[in-house]
């Protein structure tokens, strides 16, 4: 199993550009989520999904869109990039249903917005 994969690993955008961060998992997990990591703030939840066709907002959703058309994929879209979105983005997945399931994290995407 590849686990959770993310592409690209690095990306530089100009303010106002849009892009999609890709996330895929091959573990047939129901639950998937996106976090951003900023220095001294830990990871903060952007959006999450409890299954195909179902998404919801996390703590910091503004400026981001998600969709979940398949169990495997959970892309994160930046609609109009801003310097405040410079961060490292992590995708995670877990089996759904309970709070104690381990979440598996991807390797991250480091995004810089100029």
Partner 1 sequence: AQSVTQLDSHVSVSEGTPVLLRCNYSSSYSPSLFWYVQHPNKGLQLLLKYTSAATLVKGINGFEAEFKKSETSFHLTKPSAHMSDAAEYFCVVSDRGNKLVFGAGTILRVKS
Given the rule CB under 8 A, which of 18-26, 62-70, 76-84, 100-108 is the region that contacts partner 1?
A: 100-108
Could you say which DSSP state residue 83 is in? Answer: G
**Contacts for 58 with CB less than 8 Å, ≥ 6 apart:** 33, 34, 35, 44, 45, 46, 47, 48
Q: State which residue, 37 or 65, has the beta carbon closest to partner 1.
A: 37
Given the rule CB under 8 A, which of 16-24, 41-49, 63-71, 77-85 is the region that contacts partner 1?
A: 41-49
Q: How far apart are the first and last CA of the chain?
A: 36
114 in contact with partner 1 (CB under 8 A) = no
Q: How many of the chain's residues bind partner 1 (CB under 8 A)? A: 26
**Of 59, 56, 16, residue with least CA distance to 32:** 56
Across-strand partners of 113?
A: 13
One residue of 1, 2, 14, 40 binding partner 1 per CB under 8 A: 40
Note the residues at the interface with partner 1 (CB under 8 A): 31, 33, 35, 40-45, 48, 50, 58, 90, 92, 94, 96, 98-103, 105-108
């Amino acid at each position: 199993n590849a686990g959770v994969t993310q592409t690209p690993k690095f990306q530089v955008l100009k303010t106002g550009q849009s892009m999609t961060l890709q996330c895929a998992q091959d573990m047939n997990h129901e639950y998937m989520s996106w976090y951003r990591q900023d220095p001294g703030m830990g990871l903060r939840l952007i959006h999450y999904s409890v299954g195909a066709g179902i998404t919801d907002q996390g703590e910091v959703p503004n400026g981001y869109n998600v969709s979940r058309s398949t169990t495997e994929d959970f892309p994160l879209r930046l609609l109009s990039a801003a310097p405040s979105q410079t961060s490292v983005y992590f995708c995670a997945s877990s089996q759904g249903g309970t709070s104690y399931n381990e979440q598996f994290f991807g390797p991250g995407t480091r995004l810089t917005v100029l």
